[in-house]
Structures are given as structure tokens and as C-alpha cells.
């Protein structure tokens, strides 16, 4: 369990360093329950297309 929190903490630090945004979704919310079913972590990545 601690390893899971360490990985999440690392992801949050990297996101902060690269000026990304972090949104925490409660598992009490319907969307949070769906996210839990997908593993609990999601990312939206954007890349410029030239």
C-alpha cells in the first residue's frame, strides 16, 4: 500500500515540476468510482500538432 502512495507522490511531484495540473476526484463521486475501476489514475496529455 505504501508503494502505491509513493508512486502517486512521485507522479504528483513530476507533474508539478513540469507545470502540469493535478485534479483529485473523490471516489464518492460517480466519475471517481469509474476511475477506480480503471486503476485509479488517469492523465490527459496534450501535444501541439504542426
DSSP one-letter code for 29: S
Give the residue carrying C-alpha cell 493535478. 22
Predicted pLDDT of residue 6: 93
pLDDT, tens only, 11-50 = 999 999 998 999 888 989 899 999 999 988 888 888 888 7
Would the pLDDT of 10 be above 90?
yes
pTM: 0.62
Predicted pLDDT of residue 48: 83
Contacts for 35 with CB less than 8 Å, ≥ 6 apart: 25, 27, 41, 42
**What does the alpha-carbon distance between residue 30 and residue 10 come to, in Å, rounded to a whole number?**
26
**What does the alpha-carbon distance between residue 47 and residue 42 come to, in Å, rounded to a whole number?**
17
Name the nearest CA neighbour of 44 among 28, 26, 25, 23.
23
Q: Give the residue extent of every domain in the chain.
A: 23-50
Amino acid at each position: 500500500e505504501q508503494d502505491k502512495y509513493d508512486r502517486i507522490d512521485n507522479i504528483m511531484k513530476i507533474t508539478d515540476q513540469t507545470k502540469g495540473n493535478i485534479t483529485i476526484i473523490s471516489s464518492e463521486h460517480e466519475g471517481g468510482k469509474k476511475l477506480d475501476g480503471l486503476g485509479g489514475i488517469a492523465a490527459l496529455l496534450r501535444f501541439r500538432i504542426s
